[in-house]
Amino acid sequence: MNSRQRMITTLNHEQPDQVPLDLGGNQTGIHRLAYQKVLDYYGIDEDVVIMDIVQQLAAPSEKVLRLFEIDARYVRPGMFLPAPDLQEVKPGFWGFTDGFGVTWAMPGRRPGEGLYCDIVHHPLANLKYEDLDHYDWPDGKDPAPFTGLRDYALHLHEETDYALVSGITGVVFEICWYMRGFERFYMDLVEEPRYVEKLLDHTLQYWMDFHEGFLHEVGDLLHVVCVGDDIAMQNGPLFSPEIYRKLVKPRQKALYQFIKSKTNAKLWYHSCGSIVELIPEIIDNGIDILNPIQISAKNMNPAQLKEQFGDRLVFWGGGIDTQGVFAHGAPADVRNQVRDLIETFKPGGGYVFNTVHNIQADVPAENIVALWEAAKEFRDY
């Protein structure tokens, strides 16, 4: 099989020739410092291009993607727009303000010294409920993020055999606390749910308008559309299932069903943490693929997940314990865990290999190489 056939077969819960491999997304990517280690290890001389400024993720070059035998290529909204310049937003912090008015910044004596951007300004922290409709919300109908995407997707579709995957979009829930502030927003969930509902309605409308334009451009060419909202932590959901069902789920489901009405692509959902309690809700929303499969979180046992949900969900990720073995183990430990996890997830199809979330800056080059060499070694059915 070629990469596209392999991915389509896998997404249809049929057994391909090999497990598809992925690298290069916003939640399946590689930190710029880790990527530089890879370049140095192989003696590759190329500039590191940042594709996600907040997470400081590198855009892997075609040379590296082919080296690791990656089956997916990403068609990310905004990928052909200039990246925002990092300005000194307060002493010692360099950042930018996004379209929702949230300011992100990293510490350093000059731009680009920090590891990541964190939020340093929540624009709705003190905004009253009655003023929400008058906030300067971004326009989801703005066509700028889709500049050049059609031509690029057509090139990939017609001149390569890779599967086409979108960058992550549709962040309905998380953006609300980015704007409001984490502590204040989670108090709102209980104390002022109407505030939360109004916020969610605005973010939902933005993403509905956004996907109308995005899928008009490339919906017929994509194989996977990525959406996501972190709704769990290490030990369980970030809020009660009742709050999820009442406030968050109706908006997520409305967006996901809208997306599926515009494309035949499979729908991929990202949430870190122990999400197992909410997986039935996610399936009901129309999700086909779950990422990142945080195997170190409570009750996220790979074998149990495969047995319970493997006929309804494709698992995308879960290939290494990023918090433990990957950063702190030896290459042999990495190889052994990759082998065991692939053998657990791959039977019958329905599995795409990647790490649990992004490859972080502290992972040794030898472990990164061991991961991809093991994935190639054990991917055959």
At 24, list the tokens. Answer: 């290069």
Q: Which residues pair with 118 in a beta bridge?
A: 105
Give 121-152 pLDDT, tens digit per residue. 999 999 999 999 999 999 999 999 999 999 99
Q: What is the pTM of this model?
A: 0.96
At 269, list the tokens. Answer: 């959902």
Q: How far apart are CA 354 and CA 305, in angstroms?
A: 16
At 61, list the tokens. Answer: 């070059």
The predicted structure's pLDDT at residue 224: 98
DSSP for residue 248: I
Give 172-192 pLDDT, tens digit per residue. 999 999 999 999 999 999 999
The predicted structure's pLDDT at residue 112: 82
> What value does the mean pLDDT of the chain take?
97
The predicted structure's pLDDT at residue 111: 85
Q: Of 228, 227, 316, nearest to 22 (Cα)? A: 316
Residue 311 pLDDT class (50, 70, 90 cuts) = very high
Task: Output the furthest CA–CA distance in the chain (Å, rounded).
Answer: 59
Break the chain into its structural domains and give their ranges.
Answer: 3-45+60-83+125-378
Q: May I ask the CATH class of domain 3-45+60-83+125-378?
A: alpha beta
The predicted structure's pLDDT at residue 37: 98
Give 42-100 pLDDT, tens digit per residue. 999 999 999 999 999 999 999 999 999 999 999 999 999 998 989 999 999 999 999 99
In 1-104, which residue ranges form alpha helices assigned H by DSSP? 3-11, 32-42, 62-67
Q: What is the radius of gyration, based on Cα positions, of the chain? A: 20
